Amino acid sequence: MFHRRSLLSAAAAAGISILVSPLAAQTKYPERPITLLLPYAAGGGTDAIARVFAEKLAQKIGGSIVVENRPGAGGNIATDAASNAKPDGYTLLIGNQGPMVVNIHMFKNMRSDPEKTLEPIALIADAGLVVVVSPKKYPFKTLKELVDELKKRPGEMTYGSASNASASHLATLMLAHVSGIKARHVPYRGAAPAIGDLIGGHVDFMITTTPSVLGQIEGGTLTALAITSEKRSSVLPNLPTAVEAGVPGYVASAWYGLLGPKGLPADVKQKLETAAVEVLQTPELAAKLKDDGATPSGMKSDAFRAFMAKERATWAEVIKAANLTLSE
């Protein structure tokens, strides 16, 4: 039986060049559980979408994925952890526009620049956000009613968000930018605690992902005023878009992507990209995401990278207009 060393020696003696992959002697990926980091607390829209995606991805690649919530610092804690992880495919990240493209413009002391430290794998989905209030506190039925009240009380009313630079925070900054309102921001460590305080009347309104409040809307504990996407949601078909509801030019959405540390082995990245795109095309997962108010994407790594670069430029203008800087 030839051993690897004998084969190489024989090849060298015969003047034959053999290229040996450094991964050739490794076992098939994945050989142990993969950790998927989430930048927000359990119970929010990111969490709901990530978990259903992780389950199907694990089945596709023939392994197991452990979802780990690491909230805080506007998503920077999870982002830093992924950026500093060994680039072997066993630590991955669900990233959205906050930590991926916005924080670099907002935080004074960023430790990691995702454009330099992370490798895009695939864009999973995007989802419109819902403007909600508690019916116990406000009788509003339309977004225009809320905007009119905010204009009457500039800087007095409060809004909750999943964290600084989360989709909920950014969507409200954009609303303020296009409508001229002013409101005080109350950041939380995830959407779930913010929603709890909204229901309890401790904050006045919130703009958040559809999956995180769909149950409360259907149960009547929250009133939905509008959805921020270009088109109406398939799960809330009677809810008008923000533009239809009287706020022209207001369109915002949350997106979710799969990323890993820079330097992922090419074959590992390719396996993850292919698997992610394939599972997002399955009717079962597509239907589940749509039920949660999200639209499956399946954008591959190169297109995802270009998409994030464009998003970074867009949000730079919004943050500059808001004159907003934060310290972790």
Query: Please, what's the b/e burial string for 165-196 (b: 16 or more CB within 10 A of its CB; e: otherwise)?
Result: bbbbbbbbbbbbbbbebebebbbbebbbbbbe
pTM: 0.75
Q: Is the pLDDT of residue 273 over 70?
A: yes
Enumerate the CATH 3.40.190.10 domain ranges in the chain, comma separated: 128-227
Q: Is the pLDDT of residue 293 over 50?
A: yes
Give the homologous superfamily in CATH for domain 128-227: Periplasmic binding protein-like II (3.40.190.10)
How far apart are the C-alpha atoms of 268 and 31, rounded to whole Å? 12
Which residue type is seen at 173?
L
Highest mean pLDDT among 35-49, 70-84, 259-273: 259-273
pLDDT value of residue 160: 97
Enumerate the CATH 3.40.190.150 domain ranges in the chain, comma separated: 34-126+254-322
- CATH code that applies to domain 34-126+254-322: 3.40.190.150
- The per-residue pLDDT of the chain, averaged, comes to 88
Compare 14 and 264 and report the one with higher pLDDT. Answer: 264
Furthest CA-CA distance within the chain:
87
Compare 279 and 209 and report the one with higher pLDDT. Answer: 279
* Of the candidates 325, 319, 307, the residue with the CA atom closest to the CA atom of residue 96: 307
Residue 184 pairs with which residues in a beta bridge? 158
